[in-house]
Amino acid sequence: MTADMKIKLQLSLSKALGLAPEELKISDVEEQKAGTHGGNGLKIIAMFNRRTSPRFKEAIQKGYDLEKQVLLRNFDPLPGFPIYRLVMEEVFHCGDDV
């Protein structure tokens, strides 16, 4: 996946979740699971802290809505690269330094 494609995906996801693009951390991952084909993918994590927590509940709800859109194939930000697996992960940093 090219850098431009990652940016497009990040922008599409941030819009769908009502978050700023910089609140989504994107990293490359390689999946090696028994019984699957494995392969490369992206891990996208929504990052929250004390300042951004008021939008946390709303972003979670929008995440559930996004999952439904993916199942219905109504969310297709990268034509030609279908979403085969979607795992939603939210990280809440609760230290005083954030």
Q: How confident is the prediction along the chain (98 residues), in pLDDT tens digits per residue?
A: 788 988 898 899 889 988 888 888 887 776 555 555 555 566 777 777 666 667 777 888 888 898 899 889 899 898 888 887 777 777 777 776 65
Give me the DSSP letters along the chain: --HHHHHHHHHHHHHHHT--GGGEEEEEEEE--TTS--EEEEEEEEEE-TTTGGGHHHHHHHHHHHHHHHHTT---SSTTS-------EEEE--STT-
User: For residue 55, is it within any domain?
Assistant: yes
Structural domain range at position 13: 3-35+49-92
Q: Give the total number of structural domains in the chain.
A: 1
